Amino acid sequence: MDPLCTTETTPQPLIGIFDRTNKNNLFRDYTIVMVMYCSGDIHGGDVIQSYSKNGKPVVQKGYQNAKSVLDWVIKQQNVGSLDKVLSSLVVMGCSAGSIGTQLWADTVLSSVKWNQAAIIPDSYAGVFPDGSEGPLIYNFGFCKTPLISSDLIEKCKSGKLQFTDIMQENISKMKDIPYAYIQSKIDEIQMSFYVSVGITTNTSSSITPSACYAMTNEIFCSYNNLHQNFVVFLVDGDHHCFTDQDIYYTADALGYKNDGAGDPGMMLLITIIT
């Protein structure tokens, strides 16, 4: 079995939004600061667990890891290594990074100086088994971090807080900032995580593609009904993550390799930047 985590770092392949040679890449001239991650706590944990059979402590400090990156960016602005006011700030992440993007959006927007900004969560709407989110959030130590506001802290401590509660609050704080989600209609990786979480938390351990799509739509509809700055680009199919892959340039609403067939105006790379 391949290990799920590694202690080594490897360079991000220069594809997707990282491709500085592609003239269609809106982000080719951006300064990219990448948050490395393998704490298994979706960038928000602050706890030491005893998961392993031999009792060896497992450190989950995703919050501190992400905060150190944000602190570094702020320092670079203060000393002049980055513009004191960024012309454009984009907070983006795929998979677990999508959840991290959603969790950290308000903190980043409030901490870094910028002229315009956007939040782009890629491929993780936040579909979890009923009854699993609250305990996970509590056990990860979220309640001890500033990511949870004073309005939500009691719900967090009671083990009933959901990620949608956090996002409803975050999206509403800056109504002029677009929260632009990218999501496959049926994401196989998200479904596998759903099953893993269900087994771990003794909740639901199975999900069908149609149920996953319905639950995803339910989440997005709850945002859309309350926030005019929420948008979503849905791609037909089961692919996971777009922005860090070459399919960022070929995905449209009908598929991740459809390449705008029939309607070039509905390409992901065109829609997400306009």
pLDDT tens-digit readout, 150-198: 999 999 999 999 999 999 999 999 999 999 999 999 999 999 999 999 9
CA distance 27 to 265: 19
pLDDT at residue 273 greater than cutoff 80? no
Task: List C-alpha distances in Å: 75 to 8, 35, 68, 112.
Answer: 26, 16, 10, 10
Give start and end residues of each alpha helix (H) in the chain: 62-79, 96-111, 133-139, 153-157, 163-173, 188-201, 209-224, 268-271
Query: pLDDT per residue over 56-93, tens digit each?
Result: 788 889 999 999 999 999 999 999 999 999 999 999 99
The residue ranges of DSSP E strands in 153-242, in sequence order, are 179-184, 230-235
178 C-beta neighbours (distance < 10 Å), count = 17
Is residue 10 a part of any domain in this protein?
no
Report pLDDT for 274: 56
Is residue 1 a part of any domain in this protein?
no
Is residue 8 a part of any domain in this protein?
no
Helix axes 209-224, 163-173, angle to 10 degrees: 30
Is residue 5 a part of any domain in this protein?
no
Question: How many structural domains comprise the chain?
Answer: 1
Strand partners, 19: none
Q: Classify residue 153 by burial, with Cβ atoms within 10 Å: 0-12, 13-18, 19+.
A: middle
Is residue 6 a part of any domain in this protein?
no
Report pLDDT for 10: 79
Is residue 85 a part of any domain in this protein?
yes
Q: Report pTM.
A: 0.92
3-class DSSP assignment, residue 17: helix
Place of tokens 């009854």: 131
Is residue 239 a part of any domain in this protein?
yes
pLDDT interval class at 32 (50, 70, 90): very high
Domain enclosing residue 189, as ranges: 16-271
Q: How far apart are the first and last CA of the chain?
A: 43
pLDDT interval class at 3 (50, 70, 90): low
Is residue 62 a part of any domain in this protein?
yes
